Structure 1
Amino acid sequence: MRTFETKEKLSVFDAVFEPVTIIKDDGCFIYFNHSFRIFTQMAPRLLKEATVFTVINSTRFDFKNFVLEAFKNDREMLSEEIDFIVNKDKKFAVLKAMPVLIGKELAVQILFNDLSVERRLYDKYKINMEELKIAYQQILNSDKLSTLGELTASISHEITNPLTVAKGNLEVLEYCLKDKTTDPELKKQSLQSSVRNLWSSLKRIHSIIYNMRSFLHSAEDKREYIRLEDVIDSSIELVRSLYLESGIKLLKNVTDINSVGLINRIKVEQVLVNLLKNAYDAIKASSEQNKLVSINLVRDQEDEKTIIDVMDNGDGISEENQKNIFNMFFTTKKVGEGTGLGLSICTRILDSHNGKLTLLSSRKGETIFRIELPAIEASSYSYSESNLNRLVNKNGFKILVVDNEVEVLNVFNTIFKDTEYIFIGSTDPKEALKFVDGMNVDLIITDYEMPGLNGTEFVHKLRDKGITTPVFYLSSGSNLSKYKYDKDSLNISGFIVKPFGKDQIIDTIEKVLEEKRGAK
């Protein structure tokens, strides 16, 4: 305990920039420095007539008990960041209280680490960031509306076709219902055929409208596990009529149908529609007779990323324009035909997914824009960690879930949202093995029935690598016997039966990680 022979010795704090005061156990002031007077905005005379408990007024922090604890336990106390009112002014600070002796009198010294300026700057920064976020969302929506506006004519034509078919089949139905001479069996076949055609036409119209509504939906930054081929298909659906109307071939090549991304579907779809629309505009104006646009999906196993190429066989992009195409508001289209926002927005969207957009090649007969997205193991780790950083109490336990069904991963993604866990999802046990080679995880939950490797084979490879991480099998009750067989030989920690609930998962994990939490 620090000791001062007399009160005069307290003048050592006069030169300290932080507010410092020394008080009795009843809160009366023994000493305060000049910085404390500025902090409280009170004259010395008024401070001497008051107590620290009347000067410092906090509704969410028990300041008096904090000070008395320092007296009672004879030890240094450190508060969290607190907010309180001082002379009608809101302040933010971290407090440090420590017992001191002045002569033979026990007192408490309190140092205020004033964070008011930093906190106000931070709050202002948050407001500015929110305003920027709103402005960016407005730009995104503007670009989507512009793109959809350009597609409206062809979409209208696309809806007209199934409507015409539906109208024709309704006329057939009406005729059949009035007709009394036709053989009943033939009439039945005709009615069934017309009903099938009607349903097919209505489904087509519904599909077109659904895709338009989804495309225009406000894209919150919600990520989910999605098969990338599905996103490509819905993007093609939006521009399909445009290509058909102009006689331009649009091909899709997918070498890995199991490619999955942790993405915001609406935003990535916006990127693809922009690239397909740009390819259409470019090739439409070209002199090429056999006009062709292709979209290709491949998974790069070596670099652990997914690649989507949009390629056209038009006239290419000039070297001068290549320098500017990713700049905001740059466009080669006529006034009123393009905003110049498309590629700039696409770049920002992919940046937010830890991916990138590049112009891979541009010459006559071949222009390729390449989208690169990280493997879901890396992207889910990054996304979960960024969400975790928003939480106050965070330990960051890493949980790897391996299941070839994206729906199951999305359930876990929802369960672990806003928890202290870093959730890492994987649809491929071989990719999961690569991931744990370079990243320590605290718990693994694996589906038992998976293509490539089943649960037993997957854990065998884990243990062969010397990885002792606790593992849970996840499967229907029919595979319970597999768990019992592997429990001791492969050190399997438990078995989770599908379907499962959030509380069951959290309770299971808590029991396993309790020991690790204590260690951390």
Structure 2
Amino acid sequence: MPKIIICEDENIVALDIKRHLERFGYEILGMYDKAEEAITACPAINPDLVLMDIQLSGSMDGLDASNIIYKKYNIPVIMLTAYADDITLSRAKDGLPFGYILKPFEERELKTTIEIALFRHEMDERLKKSEARYRTLFEQAPTANFTADEDGTITDCNSTFIKLLNFANKESVIGKSIFTWFVNADTGNRLWQSFLNHTNSVFQDWELQKADGQKIYTLATLSVLSESGGQPREVQGYLLDNTERRDLENQLRQAQKMEAVGRLAGGIAHDFNNIITAIMGYANLLQEDIHDNPELKEEVDGILSATQRAVNLTRQLLSFSRKQSVEAKVVNVHEILKDLEKMIQRLVNENIKVTLALNAANPFISIDPGQFEQTIINLVVNARDAIRGHGSIIIQTKSILCDNSCHHHGLKKGRWLQILVQDTGCGISAEDLQHIFEPFFTTKEKDKGTGLGLSTVYAIINRSGGQIAVESTPGEGTSFFLYLPEVEEQQAPELKTASTSIEVTRSGTIIVAEDDSYIRGLISRLLSKSGYRVLESTDPEDAIRLAEQETDFMLLTDVVMPKMNGYELAARLSKGRPGLKVLFVSGYQDRSFITPETELTVKSLFLEKPFSHEVLLQAIDKLAAL
């Protein structure tokens, strides 16, 4: 049963109250006639309730004592008095009593008042614990929690909210409008009004700006606590920093775009390769025929120059479509950048200063060397074109160890080599930043860019297991961050000394199997002029018929042909000819989609289209020497 102490200076009244309470089953821990004595006894005996008269014999009355007992020891107090004047009642209210009984009182009234006071105190304690739990959850939550009125004015927030917006303390936030931190206040107000029209919780994407100006993306969960009339009273909000996830989603969308366009580009590039091979080959023939005619030589050189530009364009298409053959090697980035330095200096104007800051502790990565060079050149050319007048380009390397707390552009855990290409050019607008890695997107003037440079860079870095990020401020400059996984240094194999070249005498029979008449005619003419006997076949079946009439020959075949591919043709012709030599040619650098069904027993080489006269003959010479 509850334990009670009585503070009453009239002993007869105190004994009467004690008798009533004991009959009710309450335990009386003590009776005191002075308020000071009751206050002293409370922490020692810890009663559940105090019955206290207002007028006492000591220097302190019951109203002052009840205030101390409740606030200091959290013990409920019921006031007893024979006075019911307004002044006394007003003081009693200020003393926060849990009950007020006028003398004389009935036994039932005494018990009822005590039970109500004990119940009310228990409910208050539960409420305090509930509020404490809520405050703990509110303050210590990993989400940025806040409360606001219906106009969006912040009334409370937790430490995560303060940290998210990069403020020093809570006072810097309380009383300010939530729209203060929206990148676009009108958008924020529209989202807020839309939310107030809902009765349930809503989820919204907010683009906010920190105190230092940095933009972040958050997922906001909002709900309204309404009054009985249905009018909004308080808004509760929870913000989750969604910046990293949004960046990853953007990277995924970019990768999907690149994959889709890449599939298209790969097919187009194959057709381009056939056309370019024909143009390049016939231009080579013209070049050999015109001898020293300067006018014709200039025109043919123009054709070859345009052809080379077409070759480079095709390579870029194949690069981001992942159809260009690559050979990843462990390379020293510092050595590559040092080798490229002179070329870079020639690419930029004299009024642009180029600085290398090679600070990485481990400069070794695994990547195709040619593609890495292409990546750096593309970024430098873009930086050059962005600079008007005097400026600078910095190429810097740095080793980064990314742990669980790493925030470098959404990097995964591990050791990374960061390559920074930074310029002081005109910068890139926020709108254009969303599209710069898209194929054929360019902000350059007509005929100044293809829109494939950054697409190619993105594809190369992504294919090599890395990531690329960009930061730019219009009018100040742009920084491209390349992140590639660090690897351990590998010793390069010792190169054998090349043998002294000797003049090659070309002769023999070559069967050319190519379904494209222009390419077939060109190859046949080039080989015939070089001393070979050439047998042309329009398809694999025609090549088989020609081979049946020959005893010694080499085979030059396209890989992709109707009815039978080049590998199948080589397998058919190799039966009974174990020493057959085959040169496979194709405009598809990625040949993974078509492979020999069985292991070929022939001696073979592969030549990528487009190729020049010299490259074709070198491949044939190398094949003949096998």
TM-score range (shorter-chain normalised) is: 0.3 to 0.5
How does the TM-score come out when normalised to structure 1?
0.35
TM-score under structure 2 length normalisation: 0.30
Give 1 or 2: higher helix fraction. 1
